[in-house]
């Protein structure tokens, strides 16, 4: 299976890694063009931070950030045969984005807006379904110590998918995301990464969003600003395990590395 690279575009002032960089319309459009020129597979656009300690914003404010650029980015991407995902947990935002023509909804809440399932079902939109215990993430609320994190995830996904199926969402439109950093400490996140193949028993595509996450802190006492080398190393390992999607900040770096690896027949984009 070919691993698809999702390039992150945060139109936020407070995201943990790149908050404020692409908040203006010009900056967002310029960076979207950069991602497209570098051949990213999917542009994942978000307008609300869900980092630990983030303050949730209103639906109106989220749409005010998205509306000036979403149609333009979608048109640019589709012209280049690149897909677009919108990172939101609000059903009305998802509906507006789907009406514009986006390809995926990336819902880090696990679709707990009751209307989200209806929107996804009616439009047959593909859904990134992420495991979480809280949104925004709460460092003090994590999976039980001593439990097998992958078992906890599998049971959660089974229950959530059953609920979504009853609400009319086709299983083949769901991509599961273990939610690295959401409800897991660093050790649990590393365990999930190392045992990611266990999630394949669910017979669904898998997306991993490990980019620049705090799990890398335990590798070095001198914390990096971006952890790009660490992120890329994990991405390569995931691609070699045939994980279908990886969601990363420096998509151009990943595409360069994957193009080299593809010469060895290991991975492709």
Model pLDDT for residues 157-192, shown as the tens digit of each residue: 999 999 999 999 999 999 999 999 899 999 999 999
Name the band, by pLDDT with cuts 50, 70 and 90, for residue 18: very low
pTM: 0.91
Residue 106 CB: number of other CB atoms within 10 A? 26
∠ CA 82-84-90, nearest 5°, is 175
pLDDT for position 23: 66
| pLDDT grade for 15, boundaries at 50, 70 and 90 | very low
Residue 148: predicted pLDDT: 97
Identify whether the C-beta of residue 34 lies closer than 8 Å to the C-beta of residue 252. Answer: yes
| Residue-level pLDDT at 231 | 95
Q: Compute the distance between CA of residue 88 and CA of residue 85 in angstroms, rounded to an integer.
A: 9
Whole-angstrom distance, CA of residue 177 vs CA of residue 224: 25
Q: What pLDDT is recorded for position 20? A: 53
Hey, what's the torsion of the CAs at 3, 5, 6, 7, to 10 degrees? 170
- In the chain, beta strands by DSSP E: 4-10, 42-46, 83-87, 104-107, 126-130, 174-177, 207-208, 245-248
CATH 3.20.20.70 fits 4-262, yes or no: no
Q: Give residue 19's pLDDT.
A: 45
Query: What is the rounded CA–CA span in Å between residue 186 and residue 165?
Result: 32
Tell me the pLDDT tens digit for each residue of 190-223: 999 999 999 999 999 999 999 988 899 888 766 6
**Domain boundaries in the chain?**
4-262
- Please provide residue 250's backbone torsions phi and psi, each rounded to the nearest 5 degrees: -95, 75
C-alpha distances (whole Å) from 182 to each of 1, 51, 173, 237 are 26, 9, 23, 21
> Which is higher by pLDDT, 83 or 267?
83
Query: Where would I find the H helices in 1-48?
Result: 25-37
Which has the closest alpha carbon to 106: 7, 184, 17?
A: 7
**Alpha-carbon gap, residue 149 to 141, rounded angstroms:** 14
Residue 243, pLDDT above cutoff 60: yes
Catalytic residues: 213, 247
Average pLDDT over the chain, rounded to whole?
Answer: 90
Does residue 143 or residue 22 have the better pLDDT?
A: 143
3-state secondary structure 48-101: CCCCCCCCCCCHHHHHHHHHHHHHHHHHHHHHCCCEEEEECCCHHHHHHHHHHC
Digit-coded pLDDT (tens) for 43-86: 999 999 876 666 788 999 999 999 999 999 999 999 999 999 99
Higher pLDDT, 131 or 2: 131
């Amino acid at each position: 299976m070919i691993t698809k690279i999702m390039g992150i575009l945060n139109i936020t002032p407070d995201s943990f890694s790149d908050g404020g960089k692409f908040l203006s319309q010009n900056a967002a459009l310029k960076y979207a063009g950069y991602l497209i020129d570098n051949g990213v597979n999917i542009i994942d656009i978000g307008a609300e931070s869900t980092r630990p300690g983030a303050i949730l914003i209103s639906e109106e404010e989220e749409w005010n950030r998205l509306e000036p650029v979403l149609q333009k980015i979608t048109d640019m991407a589709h012209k280049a045969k690149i897909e677009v995902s919108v990172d939101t947990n609000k059903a009305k935002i998802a509906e507006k984005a789907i009406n514009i023509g986006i390809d995926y909804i990336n819902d880090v809440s696990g679709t707990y807006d009751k209307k989200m399932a209806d929107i996804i079902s009616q439009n047959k939109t593909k859904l990134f379904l992420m495991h979480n215990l809280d949104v925004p993430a709460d460092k003090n609320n994590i999976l039980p110590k001593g439990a097998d994190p992958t078992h906890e995830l599998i049971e959660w996904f089974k229950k959530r998918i059953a609920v979504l199926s009853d609400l009319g969402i086709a299983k083949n439109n769901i991509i599961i995301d273990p939610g690295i950093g959401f409800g897991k400490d660093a050790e649990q996140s590393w365990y999930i990464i190392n045992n990611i193949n266990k999630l394949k028993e669910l017979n669904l595509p898998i997306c991993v969003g490990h980019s620049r996450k705090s799990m890398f802190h335990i590798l070095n006492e001198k914390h990096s600003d971006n952890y790009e080398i660490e992120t890329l190393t994990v991405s390569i390992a995931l691609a070699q395990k045939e994980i279908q999607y990886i969601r990363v900040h420096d998509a151009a770096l990943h595409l360069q590395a994957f193009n080299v690896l593809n010469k060895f027949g290991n991975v492709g984009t």
